[in-house]
């Protein structure tokens, strides 16, 4: 999950050497096209992620009815995804087009810090969402509605600060280091979060990252959802034959939202597991570099899958929530639907007023004004 995962191997040089190309021209031909295709895939992920996350944030902050606790957390999650897509994803893609590290020592320290911050925001926000669903379903009486928005904003900011604090060691220890390819005795300089001496640093780094940003948060989420499942099963068995309609709707709404959060957690777990697995594999074989084609393909797929996690959440919510789907469409179309309906609504209003005039010429003027107000009210409700 570290940026070392991204930059410690040099796809062009390694792939070229592994294929034993006969000439520089042939090597350039074999490595350029895969790199271009991979960079294009990154570009697609970035574009889709920007559209989805920006529209999600805009929807939650412009539609007042959608400013609730879970959606505020999801806005923070989308902001972290945007940060990752705008900074780390382009840098990741550049490594498949050029052999050199292009971003200097400052970039080597800043980019790992940003990536760890973003990943921390994602997984810790999902943990906070699971805790929120636990309170809403298992202990609803503990939910306090007073100053709820302010409290959630404070929690979201705290998650960002905590994630930044965990990422500080990346900014301190990441630096440019020289690595060698044993088969060809070639060397290359790249960004890594630990020095090229001994094999203890990479083992500690990869294991700590795997625990802090994957295993422990998912374990906590699993505990929360175990209690949620038990509570839902218990409430279903104890529910009367003719339950209160309002209570039934409330329970169903909470169950639906809990399912949405669980899907988000599942997507995070699936998308980031291959990346963690490959990083652990490399760290425990450090400082050797695996130049096999299979390892190269797996690395590319794992990285793309990890970044894809930053663009799937808005569209997952789109598929699972009809209310969000409706508002998302409105925001994505920039209000074109409303603009196209206004002439039609105005025509209906005029028709109603004209009809009143022709059938009841003796009606007083205030009746016409009332009809006009009713027509406008109907337009607003539509």
Pick the residue with more confidence: 118 or 193? Answer: 118
Average pLDDT over residues 350-362: 42
Pick the residue with more confidence: 213 or 248? Answer: 213
Give whichever of 68-72, 83-87, 285-289 has the largest mean pLDDT. Answer: 83-87
pTM of the model: 0.75
Scored b (16 or more CB within 10 A) or e, 216-226 reads: ebbebbeebbe
CA angle 290, 291, 296 (to 5 degrees): 95
Cα–Cα dist 275/302, whole Å: 5
Asked if the model's pLDDT at residue 15 lies above 50, the reply is no
Cα–Cα dist 370/6, whole Å: 67
Cα–Cα dist 302/28, whole Å: 24
- Least confident segment among 70-79, 100-109, 135-144: 135-144
Average pLDDT over residues 239-268: 76
Q: How confident is the model at residue 246 (pLDDT cuts 50, 70, 90)?
A: low
The pLDDT score that the predictor gives to residue 96 is 87
Average pLDDT, the chain: 77
Over residues 134-177, the pLDDT tens digits come to 988 888 766 666 677 788 889 999 999 999 999 999 999 888 87
């Amino acid at each position: 999950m570290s940026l070392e995962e991204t930059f410690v191997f040099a796809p062009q040089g390694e792939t070229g050497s592994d294929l034993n190309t006969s000439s520089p021209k042939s090597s350039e031909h074999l490595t350029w096209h895969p790199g271009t295709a991979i960079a294009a895939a990154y570009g697609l992920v970035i574009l889709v992620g920007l559209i989805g996350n920006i529209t999600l944030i805009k929807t939650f902050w412009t539609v007042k009815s959608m400013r609730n606790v879970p959606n505020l957390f999801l806005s923070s999650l989308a902001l972290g995804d945007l940060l990752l897509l705008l900074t780390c994803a382009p840098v990741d893609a550049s490594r498949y087009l050029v052999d050199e590290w292009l971003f200097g020592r400052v970039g080597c320290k800043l980019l790992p810090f940003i990536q760890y911050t973003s990943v921390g925001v994602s997984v810790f926000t999902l943990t906070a969402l699971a805790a929120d669903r636990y309170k809403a379903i298992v202990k609803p009486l503990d939910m306090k509605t007073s100053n709820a928005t302010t409290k959630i904003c404070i929690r979201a900011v705290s998650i960002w600060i905590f994630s930044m604090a965990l990422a500080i060691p990346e900014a301190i220890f990441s630096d440019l280091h020289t690595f060698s390819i044993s088969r060809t005795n070639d060397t290359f300089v790249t960004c890594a979060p630990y020095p090229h001496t001994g094999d203890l640093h990479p083992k500690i780094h990869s294991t700590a990252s795997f625990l802090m940003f994957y295993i422990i948060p998912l374990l906590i989420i699993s505990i929360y959802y175990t209690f949620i499942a038990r509570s839902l099963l218990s409430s279903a068995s104890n529910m009367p034959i003719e339950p209160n309609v309002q209570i039934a709707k409330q329970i169903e709404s909470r169950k639906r939202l809990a399912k949405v959060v669980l899907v988000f957690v599942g997507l995070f777990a699936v998308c980031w597991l291959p990346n963690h697995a490959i990083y652990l594999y490399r760290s425990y074989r450090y400082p050797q570099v695996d130049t096999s084609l299979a390892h190269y393909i797996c690395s590319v797929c794992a990285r793309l899958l990890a970044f894809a996690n930053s663009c799937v959440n808005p569209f997952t919510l789109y598929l699972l929530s009809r209310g969000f789907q409706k508002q998302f469409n409105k925001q994505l179309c920039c209000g074109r639907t409303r603009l196209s309906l206004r002439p039609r609504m105005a025509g209906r209003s005029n028709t109603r007023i004209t009809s009143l005039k022709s059938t009841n010429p003796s009606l007083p003027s205030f009746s016409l004004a009332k009809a006009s107000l009713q027509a406008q009210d109907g337009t607003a409700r539509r």
